[in-house]
Structure 1
Amino acid sequence: MDTSEKLQKILARSGVGSRREIEAMISAGRIRVNDHVAHLGERVTAEADIRVDGHRVKVQSEESIPCRVIVYHKPEGEVVTRKDPEGRPTVYDRLPYLKGARWIAIGRLDINTSGLLMFTTDGELANRLMHPKYEVEREYAVRVFGEVTDAHIQKLRKGVKLEDGFAQFKKIKRQGGEGMNQWFHVTLTEGRNREVRRLWDSQGLTVSRLIRIRYGKQTLPKGLVQGGWVDLDMTDTNYFRELVQLPKLESAPVLSKDDKERQLKRARRANKGRKRS
């Protein structure tokens, strides 16, 4: 019986990063398996000696890592990377400490975008939720500078060709505004780099504010301050697992309304402390 798995899957599950990040590491020659440099698509067993930048990876089995998902309210000005060479603040600076696991971002938001960003300890869940195959909806509130005509909206719904392929908004809804600054809610089902901004740019229009307000059915929790996070309970975590065809959790910490309110209060206190310092 073949007990091997793809190297990317094992490393994602063990908290090294998302599959996309791991593939980049493999391509850069940063990962070794036993006595050779790893290659894309390589299959390994849990007993293999796997090293990233010379450091041995403690391989985790699927059963050993509890699946935890949190929602983070990202402010503008933070980057979605573990370490930034320019010294800018990163989203990981504010996340809760984990022992024996690692937070993996489910998608990205650029430095000038705020709003809902989810993290998980489960690399396979993160990978599937980001994969276009599953068509998980992302909804954004967008402030657009310029005169937006019905013709623009029709083109963006129908789709336009960008430098990395065809793209379109699944839904566009006007949300009001004044003068040359109009608000829209837009929905798409993939997360290409700066895709929302580039779609509007293709029509000669500029995005002056961008906030992600929904991922799947999960909306940005009311009362969650920027820089704060809250856990998803088992029901909501299982919604995402079922959405991407992963087995449901049979047991996980259950969060009551009081638990959630305590997490929101903790986030507000932490945010006030940062503003004073």
Structure 2
Amino acid sequence: MTSTDSHDRDPFAAPEGIRLQKVLAGAGVASRRVSEQLIEDGRVEVNGVVVTELGRRIDPENDLVAVDGSAIQLDSSKRYLMLNKPVGIYSSLKDDRGRPDLRRFTDQYEERLFNVGRLDAETSGLLILTNDGDLAHVLAHPSFGVSKTYIAKVTGRVTPQVLAQLTAGIELEDGPIAADKARLLGTEDGHSLVELTLHSGRNRIVRRMLDAVGHPVVDLVRRQFGPLHLGTLGSGQVRELTKAELGAILTIAREHAPAARAADGTAAAASDDASDDAAGEGRAETAE
């Protein structure tokens, strides 16, 4: 037996870890009393296992906690923001040509934030800013294809046949592609408004798809990224994600994290890759 075996530990030593209800209260889930009720009701999981004992202690740095199936972030150093990126801003934290970039939105925060994926300069809309490299890596990873919804103003009148063509699939120079959903929102003055949902992260994919069916994009906005909706957030505005929004994207990230690590190596490498991609160091834009 080694000195780390349980019966060799000092019986008078303080129990390891922190009480679960205290951790939940510290994470802002609820008061400690309400957190105790959540535990007793079987609504709290630790590492995927339901916990109902109030005396349970956990390691906040390593254990994964969820309430009602929604992941909880215990690390208060992590920050998660939603930006409505304006047209004309490049999705980089250090544009090598000196063009307007994301620093005007991130410099006001102490943390070193970076963007999850990219939007090209002429595309506006929802962009996530964070310092959580693991989450950024999974959400932007091409294998996991988190869905994104765009509203495009295009030239010409889009017909039901065109919408069917977009969802059935079209052939582009880099291979076939199909939208998950496509619908017409309206037409006016020789233009159409089209809502397009897809999970591809290929370069300028929305613009190329619509151009391929004869309706070039005049204006493009990303309205939704996975479970996150842009809502009424104004152009150029930034806000913290709500607890419900954060729980939703953390849950997605945790579900796919093991596969992401297997595909691309360690979590540390994932964090470094996410940061480097955000910095825009000579990499092509993965813009829609």
TM-score tier (shorter): 0.5 to 0.7
Answer yes or no: is 1:165 the counterpart of 2:175.
yes
**Distance apart, 1:85 and its partner CA:** 3.1
Other-structure match for 1:75: 86
**Distance apart, 1:187 and its partner CA:** 0.3
What SS does structure 2 have at the residue aligned with 1:110? coil
Other-structure match for 1:37: none
Q: Distance in 2 between matches of 1:154 and 1:236?
A: 32
Change (3 A) 1:237 1:146: same
What SS does structure 2 have at the residue aligned with 1:174? strand
- Letter in structure 2 aligned against 1:232: L
- Letter in structure 1 aligned against 2:108: Y
Other-structure match for 1:89: 100
| Counterpart selection for 1:152 from 156, 162, 168 | 162
**Distance apart, 1:116 and its partner CA:** 1.0
Bigger Rg, structure 1 or 2:
2
| Counterpart selection for 1:107 from 101, 117, 126 | 117
Change (3 A) 1:88 1:238: same
Answer yes or no: is 1:205 the counterpart of 2:203.
no
Q: List per-residue Cα deviations over 1:49-71 (Å, max 9, x = no partner).
A: xxxxxxxxxxxx98977322100
Other-structure match for 1:217: 227
Answer yes or no: is 1:185 the counterpart of 2:195.
yes
Answer yes or no: is 1:131 the counterpart of 2:141.
yes
Change (3 A) 1:235 1:148: closer
Percent identical pairs in the alignment equals 33
Other-structure match for 2:250: 241
Q: Retained in 1: the 8 A contact 2:158–2:184?
A: no
Q: Retained in 1: the 8 A contact 2:227–2:245?
A: no
Change (3 A) 1:162 1:111: same
What SS does structure 2 have at the residue aligned with 1:132? coil
What SS does structure 2 have at the residue aligned with 1:108? coil
Q: Retained in 2: the 8 A contact 1:128–1:134?
A: yes
What SS does structure 1 have at the residue aligned with 2:143? helix
Other-structure match for 1:13: none
What SS does structure 1 have at the residue aligned with 2:108? coil
Q: Retained in 1: the 8 A contact 2:88–2:121?
A: yes
- Letter in structure 2 aligned against 1:234: K
Other-structure match for 2:151: 141
**For this pair of structures, how many residues does the alignment match?**
185
Q: List per-residue Cα deviations over 1:132-164 (Å, max 9, x = no partner).
A: 333321001111102323322211111112222
Point out the more displaced range, 73-82 or 227-236.
Answer: 227-236
Change (3 A) 1:136 1:246: same
**Distance apart, 1:78 and its partner CA:** 0.6
Q: List per-residue Cα deviations over 1:223-271 (Å, max 9, x = no partner).
A: x221110001333212101112259xxxxxxxxxxxxxxxxxxxxxxxx
Other-structure match for 1:30: none
Q: Retained in 2: the 8 A contact 1:108–1:117?
A: yes
**Distance apart, 1:126 and its partner CA:** 0.6
Q: Distance in 2 between matches of 1:97 and 1:64?
A: 21
